[in-house]
Structure 1
Amino acid sequence: MEQSGGISIISPPSITDNNAANNKVKSNGSSNGGGGGLAASTASRLMNAKEKLRVPWCKNDDGSAVEWLKKGVAEMIGTAIIVFLGCLGCVGSLGTAPTHLQICLSFGFAVMIAIVCTAHISGAHLNPAVTVGTIVCGYTSLASAAVYIISQMAGGVLGYALLKIITPQNHLHGGDPNTAAGFCATLLHPRVSILQGFFSEVIATGILVFMVCSISDSRNSRNTDSVAIKVGLAVAVLCFGFVPYTGCSMNPARSFGPALINNLWTDHWLFWFGPMVGALLSSLLYKSLFMPNLKEQRTITPENGV
């Protein structure tokens, strides 16, 4: 079964075993005059184990239907949490518009909660753009990605629908009752051009997915403590900067729910193409520049580490 790539990739099981193997080989090598044969054999096994962290794009996953269902449901629930709690923080209270800080922190902490809830089940992609990035980096197969993205879209709709159900209509706005029809929908600012909005989404999503690629890298496994907090704060910081431009979607599923329920499709393509292009560019950049290829892995020895 493939390794689930995503926001909260924790140290893959093989990495711990690799470190133990390194220590064992070093010990044997010093007591047996170098132990060249054993070292070469162990290095080969380490390289093979590391290569298994990648999965082919078109792969017949050996996971059962139940496992696929669990991951899909986890992605749906996690995405619903993001949309529900994030948009809940945008609800106007007694006619007072929520502050920019409140909106940004609401989405950041919503992402943090969703990651904690689903990381151990599905890897906590919670975003079609993140799933695309993990495909490029080799952590997710196309078949798994299809299940994830469909589940994420359903989660976006579910989260926004729950918000509409529990919130009185006269409070379902950001302080201005005239905005109720498009509440929490990601919209291009009137003073921002289509091209500027597109590149805003590309850059914001690119930064987020680049961070995800770094977290998912097995070489970074020792630095993944409190990943949920780190990613949540990163989302909040990106929102601080990009919300005035486009609403800072970075997540097609987050934009899809409000657009579908409110039947508001103005510039909606922007919130698909922008994040997807950003995810593709940043993941390709990370993979081509920073991820070790097979040739480099063959030069790995127990003496110089994994």
Structure 2
Amino acid sequence: MSRGKNNKSGKPVARAVAKYTVYNVNEPAELMDFLMQKMAGISRSKVKTMLTNRVILVDNIITTQYNFELKPGMKVQVSKTKNNREFKNPMLKLVYEDAYIIVVEKKEGLLSVSTEHQKERTAQHILNEYVKRSHRNNRIFVVHRLDRETSGLMMYAKDEKTQNTLRDNWQDIVTDRRYVAIVSGEMEKDGGTVESWLTDRKLYVSSSPYDDGEGKYAVTHYRTIKRANGYSLVELDLETGRKNQIRVHMSELGHPVIGDERYGSECNPLGRLALHAFKLCFYHPITGELMQFETPYPANFKTLMLKK
């Protein structure tokens, strides 16, 4: 707060210092183009840095997508102060955040949720510590999981109501959840679908072609992208989201994900499970807006598939 002129009582008047420069949107535009027009002379790289540093808001929501579609009536706010909540962690990248959800990209080797034996080295704990910087009572809520050795995109809720909305309506809210994997051997087909009932046996997940009353129905669609060097690069589209679903279904086809010793892989050329969640699309649980996120395939996936 800054001190302004005295009022009639002779006491100084407190005046709020503007924290943002506000630009009104009058016609449809992408965020990058809009900012470059309004902030004359600014470079694209500078705008990208500002987006990465999370100092750009649209209608009070932090926005990091350079191609975010602006509509007439919206307000774009550019923070005048340095962001003291900048998020940096070598195992976790913050992709998107608003008042209700957080989307992150997790590295392999990091647990999605805290367990009895591992509470701190988890995405859940890291994000909890991050949101508590704003208020000590803040916390994040688990919506879905990725296996420890799987990398890629994940979403968490920032309140229990949003968590329940996402969990109870997951099949309707999520429109596209896709993975890329490198599997052992050359796939016989260019594409197909695997269906079975999966049962969690604690140490592993078993699969049955029949409903025995214990398992959960699972459907995985696959598309072979490339075959090279005794491996296949496969894109996987999940219709259901069961524990170890992709790993079990690929093993059933006779092509386990490389690095997946539990389900039959006998090689590990990358030193990790070759499975990455690269695409996540869903309707925002509060606004209903279609949100679409995509990350590149891991660089070592591409290198391994280069024909020798």
Query: TM-score normalised by the shorter chain: which range applies?
Result: under 0.3
TM-score (norm 2): 0.24
Larger % of strand: which?
2
> Higher relative CO (CA 8 A, sep ≥ 6), structure 1 or 2?
1
TM-score, structure 1 as length reference: 0.24
